Structure 1
């Protein structure tokens, strides 16, 4: 179950990448910091308010951070190159990480299990799993379903996709491209914060926990094909299971290298991803 659990976590991060990419064509390497902020903020707020309210407030605050990032660092740019956006979002992620270190220090934190505890488990067909794992998988599946419906069935979702395809043409059709970009960052921050809160009881959270998640989430996004949130789930499972099996044949220290190796292989040989999103080939612009 460890592979499925971590695969779902990576998929949630990849979905955040896909939301912004679908609306803007931008690769946001600060996505991992949204996950970290959601978890850290929820842990802090849970000291003063009930956990459901703490999670809700943490998501709202992270959404505000996402909007501020877009307005301050992204909106004023005119047709930035992929490389420029990568550098800017990496810089933003470093800035957020340093602010988090100043606020929370370097201690490791965690939320309580939503239901049950770390020592209790549920019997599913003879397999005992933690109840929090079901929360992680359930939230991940719900996020994919909701976002797929949003981008394909709602007018707002189609407007966001139109901005990604051709922002100038979208403006000529009366779409406020600036607001669509801001909304994409807000949605991406929200899904990242929700994911951070859900996985926090299992993986714990620290000021620098967003960086490895961003790398693995980006790997999953590329593996599944950028912009394809449904494929990100399958790609996340592949990476999570590969990491779990890798510790049987390699020292634990090499576990973190698996995602980097997969990312390099995909970028070299099939930049459109395993599930065939041709738009992902834009990464060749690096």
Structure 2
């Protein structure tokens, strides 16, 4: 039982990271119906950006965390301005190809800037592992869970209690209708790109002390975040959180009870099952309203 509990705790930690990445996919999809396959590279840039500010420049964590989040969010704005908005006929397949190209470009640029070697990032909290019923959880895992909880609460307050959040919801429901009512839909799309990229950056920040920071880390994390979003229901913020946690737990149990060789395959097997059995996901639009 202690081994099962350890797998569950490890899975919850990994699942919380997948949930943050899935939230980035969902945030952008709600506003634009676009799946951004460069999302994983924003995770990578958040991780490497934190390494640069903490290790190379000596910034404290309390200053580096918001600075990296802001910079990665600005990169999302640049992507929308330079690569997405100029497209005259924004067909979905064309936009997806553009995001794939942006992913390749950002990964290559990161390799030139930071090199191919992984970089170590210090943990956020020092101290011995916390024992829970024969299992152990690291202080870094508690930081990750706290950040994810704050993000979920903040997104809920943003979408339900602010005019900007309600305007973004209106654009997600009916973009043309929102434009008729005077809501600047282009600005809402730009904000969605910024918030989506920033969420990816936060995911990279909180995972970097666990996996180390490397130029090629974002590809698999981005795909798993997309699987989590599809599992929970693409378009549902709660679904992104549920899908991420469920994917992390199933992945950890599969690694511990079956084989570590199937770790990366589990996410895609789950995705295939969901697409065949319930394409809308666990908390998709047919099962629940948006956040």
Q: TM-score, normalised by structure 1?
A: 0.91
Contact kept? 1:75, 1:178, Cα under 8 Å? no
Instruction: Report the secondary structure of 1:128's partner residue.
Output: strand
Q: Match of 1:130? A: 138
Q: Match of 2:129? A: 121
Deviation at 1:125, TM superposition (A): 6.0
Output aligned runs, 1:43-122, within 5 Å.
Answer: 43-46=51-54, 47-48=56-57, 49-78=59-88, 80-116=90-126, 120-122=128-130
Q: Residues 68-99 of structure 1: CA distance to partner in whole angstroms, max 9, x if unpaired? A: 00111111235623322222211111111111
- Provide the C-alpha distance between the structure 2 equivalents of 1:156 and 1:130, rounded to a whole number of angstroms: 37
Q: Match of 2:4? A: none
2:175 corresponds, among 164, 167, 192, to 167
Q: TM-score, normalised by structure 2?
A: 0.90
Contact kept? 1:216, 1:259, Cα under 8 Å? yes
Deviation at 1:260, TM superposition (A): 1.0
Instruction: Report the secondary structure of 2:110's partner residue.
Output: helix
Structure 1 segments of 4+ aligned residues over 6 angstroms from their partners: none
Q: Does 1:210 align with 2:206?
A: no
Contact kept? 1:226, 1:279, Cα under 8 Å? no
Alpha-carbon RMSD: 1.9
Output aligned runs, 1:1-286, within 5 Å.
Answer: 1-46=9-54, 47-48=56-57, 49-78=59-88, 80-116=90-126, 120-124=128-132, 127-278=135-286
Instruction: Report the secondary structure of 2:136's partner residue.
Output: strand
How many corresponding residue pairs? 278
Contact kept? 1:111, 1:197, Cα under 8 Å? no
Contact kept? 1:17, 1:221, Cα under 8 Å? yes
Deviation at 1:268, TM superposition (A): 2.4
- Provide the C-alpha distance between the structure 1 equivalents of 2:63 and 2:185, rounded to a whole number of angstroms: 33
- Provide the C-alpha distance between the structure 2 equivalents of 1:105 and 1:83, rounded to a whole number of angstroms: 32
Deviation at 1:276, TM superposition (A): 3.3
Q: Match of 1:283? A: none
- Provide the C-alpha distance between the structure 2 equivalents of 1:96 and 1:207, rounded to a whole number of angstroms: 9
- Provide the C-alpha distance between the structure 1 equivalents of 2:113 and 2:49, rounded to a whole number of angstroms: 10
Contact kept? 1:42, 1:54, Cα under 8 Å? yes
Of 121-130 and 145-154, the range deviating more from structure 2: 121-130
Of 27-36 and 248-257, the range deviating more from structure 2: 248-257
